[in-house]
Amino acid sequence: MTSRVHAGVGLAPDAVLPRRDDLLDEDLVAARLEELGRRAGNAPTVRACERVRARYRRGESLRATYRVTDQDGSRLVSARMFTSVKAASRFDRARDAAEGEGAPAGSVLFDESLDTVFWVFPHDRKLRGLADLTCPPPGLRHMFAAPWVASELVAYTPEKAATVRCLDQNADAVGFAKVQVDEEGRRSVETLTAVRRGLPEASTLRLPEPVGYLPERRLALFSAVPGRPLHELERAAVPDAMTALGVALTVLHRGPTRGLPSFTRLGPGRLSDAGMLLRAVRPDLAKLTESVVQALLSDPVRPTPAVLLHGDLHPKNVLVDGTVIGLVDLDQAAAGPAGAELGGIAARLWCPRPGDEIDRETASAAANALLAAYTGGPRHADLLWYAAAALLVERAVRAVNRVDLATLADLEQVLETALHWVSARTVEQP
In CATH terms, the superfamily for domain 228-423 is: Aminoglycoside phosphotransferase (APH), C-terminal lobe (3.90.1200.10)
**pLDDT, position 200:** 87
**pLDDT, position 336:** 97
pLDDT digits (tens, 9 = 90+) for 141-177: 999 999 999 999 999 999 999 999 999 999 999 999 9
* pLDDT class of 104 with cuts at 50, 70, 90: confident
**Average pLDDT, integer, range 356-371:** 90
Q: Where do the structural domains in the chain lie, given as residue ranges?
A: 20-120, 130-222, 228-423
Portion of the chain with pLDDT greater than 70, in percent: 93
Q: Could you tell me if 359 and 235 are in contact, meaning their C-beta atoms sit under 8 angstroms apart?
A: yes
* Residues 35, 42: Cα–Cα separation, whole Å: 9
**Average pLDDT, integer, range 414-424:** 95
Q: Exposed, middle or buried by CB within 10 Å (0-12, 13-18, 19+), for 293?
A: buried
Mean pLDDT of the chain: 91
* pLDDT class of 399 with cuts at 50, 70, 90: very high
Query: Amino acid letter at 285?
Result: L
**pLDDT, position 87:** 66
Q: Out of 91-100, 196-205, 392-401, which region has the weakest mean confidence (pLDDT)? A: 91-100
* pLDDT class of 358 with cuts at 50, 70, 90: confident
Nearest to 44 by CA among 33, 53, 52, 54: 33
* pLDDT class of 45 with cuts at 50, 70, 90: confident
Q: Out of 77-86, 87-96, 348-357, 364-373, which region has the weakest mean confidence (pLDDT)? A: 87-96
Residue 414, CA distances (Å) to 7, 44, 136 in order? 19, 42, 44
**Average pLDDT, integer, range 288-306:** 95
